[in-house]
Structure 1
Amino acid sequence: MAEYDYDVLVIGAGPGGYVAAIRAAQLGLKTACAESRETLGGTCLNVGCIPSKALLHASEYFEAAAGDHMAHMGIEVTPKLDLPKMQAHRQDAVDGLTKGIEFLFKKNKVDWKKGRATFQDAHTVKVGDETVTAREVVIATGSSVTPLPGVEVDNDKGVVVDSTGALVLSKVPEHMIVIGGGVIGLELGSVWRRLGAKVTCVEFLDEILPGMDGDIRKEARKVFKKQGIEFKLGTKVTGCTVSGDKATLTMEPAAGGDAETMEADCVLVSIGRRPNTEGLGLDAIGLELNKRGQIEVDHEFRTAVDGVRAIGDVIPGPMLAHKAEDEGIAVAEWIAGQTGIVNHDVIPSVVYTHPEIAGVGLTEEEAKEHGTIKVGKFPMMANSRAKTNHEPDGFVKVISDAETDRVMGVWAIAVPAGTMIAEAALAMEFGATSEDIAYTCHAHPTHSEAVKEAAMAVTGKPIHM
């Protein structure tokens, strides 16, 4: 039997990779993790989920103080923006969490191999100047921003930026154009709008938030429009020129038509993400990608190459940190001879705007393809906690199978929707019916009562509507 330096080598220390490494070590496997960044945590902790949420949180406070929301409650304040200090707050959150992962590696005896990893063969990987062998190699290299032809990103100049550049702007733009009406663009667009920028969102499709429930998409755009974000839907960006500190976009209707231009002092390119597989040396092990540039795997996350597995953004499925984390735990358990479980039908998604937008399971459109359904909706304006807090926007929607009443999907727009959706995910994990949720006692007054009422509405019996 061949001897290897490690039982498991994980390539990539993002949410999927570092979790896989820690779990493998906990299960008694000698484990190493290769990471080329100076800090652990991948895109999520360094330039994604964590820093963006820090700015979203801080900008929410600023807008609340600057608007009439606090004044309505008898709190008179006049805020002053200190952007350098707000950016320091963002970096402090990043530093604390990335150092926390480094501590967990040491605690669990995971070796951090610093450098870029390249396969030599299926069990041999060169990391920087070092060559490492492992019985099992897990690819967890995540994803990076998708470039847009005709629009060149230069984060250093701060005029045309991607999501990384949009996090570190040194001044509030007068006019920011967000190319792409997805999660990242709307979150970062919301940050800079709250801090004083005019924000225009240009989306190729005829509605924002592709992949989400249709009612949610329409309601979300109404909320954002009320907040001041302007939308140009069904619009294709064909080019961008930069002169000094200004950018000029060239656009045309997606269905065809006359071109137009729009000027801004900051353009955020946010049209999606693509798997990070370049430079891994996959050709050296004969591992081919699918048409979307992803690595295909089986239910145990094994690739077509024996001894090589893959998880997270590089494999099919939603590019979400929590999906990658669950896969990280599961792949380690499979390698250790246990049974790893990830229910890919119950992966919640959240947009961390204000209010938040969240969903789990099937959209109404998808559910109808499976058969006859029942739908219950309950508006947040009728929820006592939301009404008390002057947070009337949004609703909760429960979709269930008409014959079995089993919950097929839950969608919500509410200030704490990202937290509320966990209840729905847990219910669906246990195969709950809408009646199960409806007859579960919910504390009063809470936003989560809207989930109960929406479940009651499935059978036409909500109390407060």
Structure 2
Amino acid sequence: MASYDVIVIGSGPGGYVAAIRAAQLGLKTACVEGRETLGGTCLNVGCIPSKALLHATHQLHEAEHNFAKMGLKTSAPKVDWDQMLTYKRETIETNTKGIEFLFKKNKIDWLKGWGSIPEKGKVKVGDETHEAKNIIVATGSEVAPLKGVEIDEKTIVSSTGALELGKIPKKMIVIGAGVIGLEMGSVYSRLGAEVTVLEYLDTVTPTMDGEVQKQFQKILGKQGLKFVLGAAVQGAEVKNGKARVTYKLKKDDSEETLDADVVLVSTGRRPVTEGLGLKELGVEVSDRGFVQTDKHWMTSVDGVYAIGDATEGPMLAHKAEDEGMAAAEVIAGKAGHVNYGVIPSVIYTHPEVAAVGQTEEELKKEGRDYKVGKFSFMGNGRAKANFAADGFVKIIADKETDRILGAHIIGPMAGDLIHELCVAMEFGAAAEDVALTCHAHPTYSEAVREAALACGDGPIHM
């Protein structure tokens, strides 16, 4: 029986980061993982492979729509789907092998198999039981089922199946207008599929800023995606390799059907906590399966911690990473810290969408006085030169103090631009601080400065 200071269960972004940080802090560390490769859902069947396909299909879009405008004359590109999937798999392998290298570098033991906690201070993996002074549950999440819709990963697929389709469908139905649905819908739309998105609510990306939601849907509509909002899916059936989805429109309760070659179910995820033995151990778990923790990521059982998608909060890889580092630091006797008010979210479509902090809707509900500075990418020289002028930067600041409360960007490289505002918020900066900071020209980042200027006397280029 091996003995460790820390055993992490799960090697996704939260788990592997927790393990590496614990090892860096001098703790003898092991990580439990039952997959053939490290990296969890994110690196194997989530964040990384989806970005590979988004990148490949964006290049296809540029070749089809913008190359000729720039004087790049060539025949129309042909899609080799098998090669595109090979590129995606090679991308996955490069990243997962990278985590394996980091484990070896930091002398972290990989305990191969699925883990459970039979009693306090012990982790069972297969037939072996290991002792641990501290245990971190980082088991992530899985696709939440949708009543009346059975996923077979062939015709009716989750995000996992959508990354490995045998061929490009002619028609695709996406159930759910959240991050996963819109990213994968964009991939297949660019590849030539007719994509229809069914969403129960009356807006896309429900947690986003209202102005962003409207602009985002409008842009995606121009790109070819069709939207049916206020659609309550009743069920789906597969016959002769085709799918038929039945849904009711909330506005008049009428029932409609829609046929497609593939249906992608992207209505959310749920924590993976079953089979760990948590309840038997005395760990408090919510009715929805989330592990309950205190402000130090400790569960109701001393020495057992939980992070990432297994706990409450946004299901984001970087949130899990921050918690993984913080939990490891707490175990090592340091002061772990996560600022939950400054966790950005990004949708990797084109244009990208990114947000941090509060929305106007949230501030109105609070009754807080605020001001808004906006700047359109139509006023940004770099964006216009690169056929990327759709969208805007929006900064929300306290009306009295000018302190930045939130930022929302839809436009080129939004997922990178948002971090300037994350750093500003982390330091308690005012919009004026960003406005007075010199930004290189010509860059997309100038749009951020202009939005900050708009919180004061006004932007220069609009």
Indicate the TM-score class for this superposition, using the shorter chain for normalisation.
over 0.9
Matched, 1:358 2:343: no
Extract unaligned runs of 5+ from structure 1: none
- Rounded to whole Å, the distance in 2 between the matches of 1:442 and 1:221 is 30
Partner of 1:35: 33
Q: 2:9 aligns with which of 6, 11, 17?
A: 11
Q: 2:397 aligns with which of 397, 400, 412?
A: 400
Partners of 2:294 and 2:397 lie apart in 1 by: 29
The reply to whether residue 191 of structure 1 matches residue 187 of structure 2 is: yes
Alignment deviations for residues 357-383 of structure 1 (CA, whole Å, 9 cap, x no partner): 000111111123251000011001111
For residue 442 of structure 1, the aligned residue among 435, 439, 462 is 439
Aligned to 1:375: 372
- Once residues 81 and 176 of structure 1 are traced to their aligned partners in structure 2, the CA distance between those partners, rounded to angstroms, is 18
Equivalence for 2:284:
288
| Map of 2:293 onto structure 1 | 297
Aligned to 2:115: 117
SS across alignment from 1:345: helix
CA distance in 2, matches of 1:73, 1:112: 50
Distance in structure 2 (CA, Å) of the matches to 1:125 and 1:255: 52
- What secondary structure does 1:367 align onto? helix
Question: What SS does structure 2 have at the residue aligned with 1:408?
Answer: strand
2:152 equivalent to 1:140: no
Superposition map of 1:179-258 within 5 A: 179-255=175-251, 257-258=253-254
Shift of 1:171: 1.1
Once the two structures are overlaid, the 10-residue window that deviates more, 374-383 or 116-125, is 116-125
Which residue number corresponds to residue 48 of structure 2? 50
Give the Å deviation of 1:460: 3.8
Alignment partner, residue 314 of structure 1: 310
1:81 matched residue in structure 2? 79
The one-letter code of the counterpart of 2:158 is D
Q: How much has 1:350 moved relative to structure 2?
A: 0.3
AA aligned to 1:197 is A
SS in 1 for 2:447: helix
3-state DSSP of counterpart to 2:257 = strand
**Pair 1:70-2:67 in alignment:** yes
Cα distance between partner residues in 2 of 1:185 and 1:146: 13
Query: In structure 2, how many angstroms separate the alpha carbons of the residues matched to 1:170 and 1:95?
Result: 20
**C-alpha deviation, 1:76, in angstroms:** 1.9
Aligned equivalents of 2:180 and 2:237: distance in 1? Answer: 23
Count of residue correspondences:
460
Normalised by the size of structure 2, how large is the TM-score? 0.98
Name the CA distance, whole Å, in 1 between partners of 2:344 and 2:170. 35
Q: Report the AA paired with residue 120 of structure 1.
A: P
- The secondary structure found in structure 2 opposite 1:154 is coil
Task: String of CA shifts for 1:186-237, please: whole Å, max 9, x gaps.
Answer: 0001001001100000000000001111111111000100101000000011
**Is the contact between residue 181 and residue 266 of structure 2 (CA under 8 Å) also seen in structure 1?**
yes
Task: Give the match for residue 18 of structure 2.
Answer: 20
What residue number does 1:337 align with?
Answer: 333
Would the aligned equivalents of 2:279 and 2:285 in 1 still touch at CA under 8 Å?
Answer: no
Query: Deviation at 1:256?
Result: 5.5
Q: Take 1:239 and 1:367, find their aligned partners in 2: how far apart are those partners?
A: 37
The secondary structure found in structure 1 opposite 2:233 is: strand
In the alignment, the residues of structure 2 paired with residue 318 and residue 254 of structure 1 have an alpha-carbon distance, to the nearest angstrom, of 27
Name the counterpart of 1:275: 271
CA distance in 1, matches of 2:343, 2:403: 17
**Cα drift, residue 255 of structure 1:** 5.0
Q: Distance in 2 between matches of 1:342 and 1:43?
A: 22
C-alpha displacement at 1:439, in angstroms?
Answer: 0.5
Q: How does 1:403-414 map to 2 (within 5 A)?
A: 403-414=400-411
| Cα distance in 1, alignment partners of residues 131 and 268 from structure 2 | 34
Would you say the 8 A contact 1:119–1:284 is kept in 2?
no
Q: Is the 8 A contact 1:36 1:115 kept in 2?
A: yes
Q: Report the 3-state secondary structure (helix = DSSP H, G, I; strand = E; otherwise coil) of the residue aligned with 2:43.
A: helix
For the residue of structure 2 that corresponds to 1:126, the secondary structure is strand
How far is the alpha carbon of 1:290 from its aligned partner?
1.8
SS at match of 2:325: helix
| 3-state secondary structure, aligned to 1:113 | strand
Once residues 283 and 45 of structure 1 are traced to their aligned partners in structure 2, the CA distance between those partners, rounded to angstroms, is: 29
8 Å contact kept, 1:367–1:408 = no
